[in-house]
Amino acid sequence: MLNPKSLLHLLSIALLLIGTKLIMAQPITHSTNLNDSITHISFKPPPDESQPDQTIPAGSRQPSRCGQDITGVSTANSYYLMALVPSSNYGLTIAERPTFFIALPKTSAKQVVLSIKEEGKQHHSQTLLSIKDSPGIISIQPSEKSPPLAVGKKYQWSVVLVCGTKPGPNDPAIMSWVRRVDLPQTAPSGLQKENALAQALWYGEQGLWYDTLNALVKAKRSQPESQVMSDIWTNFLTSVGLSDISSQSLRP
């Protein structure tokens, strides 16, 4: 028969083993916020990428406003209609119908026209889109009925600000270029399941401009109050020469 001292010792061991099993049975929790480890997104232009012959450097930065909007412009909204593109005015995408982003100043215009044409040809697609009078960065995308971009081909895309009731020859416009490519074979198998910021990081390293920007916008919209996300956004735009509009709001 065990004495009280030995019984107490065995009871202590039993309690220790039970506690260990309970700890082992609990799931190991990891932080699901992968954004914590990403503090910088950079864009690395692909090497030896041949650009269209008609590319005009910084063409998207040229002044562009409706005539009735020239006067009475506040300092905060004094920027012009701009395309969010690298200084080369040219970028790659893996998307069939890529999302483009423009910085829209305060304007009386109610619509924009997004036109896309293949290099050397006159027309590919045209989409009329409604806009609000609030200034800021907005996304525009071809209609789902428009034909997809073909892999390997270059396309000129342009946005016309419709100043009247219908598009006119004197309406301000901006232009840039895009080429669709295949998804690189080095793409992680679970890339589409990653959060938007992780996708932006990978796309940026591959030189996929439009996909990088689209993913980064999604990440910023998902964390509108995050100072870290705001810094990532500002630093990214500044690094590609878009510091003038880095403080502008993202619109729906």
Tell me if 85 is assigned to some domain.
yes
d(CA 233, CA 40) in angstroms, rounded, equals 9
Give domain status of residue 239, yes or no.
Answer: yes
Among residues 85, 48, 115, the alpha carbon closest in space to that of 212 is found at 85
The whole-number pLDDT of residue 134 equals 83
Q: Number of folded domains in the chain? A: 1
Confirm whether 26 is domain-assigned. no
For 73, the domain range is: 54-245
CA distances from 230 to 117, 157, 161, 224 (A): 34, 28, 28, 8
Longest CA span, the chain: 105
Rounded Cα gap, residues 233 and 171, in angstroms: 31
Q: Tell me the CATH number at 237.
A: 2.60.40.1930
Residues 90 and 179: their CA atoms lie apart, in Å, by 8
The pTM of this model reads 0.79
Tell me whether residue 40 is in a domain: no
Is there a contact between 178 and 149 (Cβ–Cβ < 8 Å)? yes
- Going residue by residue through the chain, which has 252 residues, state the pLDDT in tens, using 9 for 90 and above: 555 555 555 555 554 444 444 333 333 333 344 556 899 999 999 876 666 655 444 333 444 678 777 655 554 545 688 999 998 899 999 999 999 999 998 888 999 999 999 998 878 899 999 998 788 999 999 999 999 999 999 999 999 999 998 888 889 899 999 999 999 988 998 898 889 999 999 999 999 999 999 999 999 999 999 999 999 999 999 999 999 899 999 987
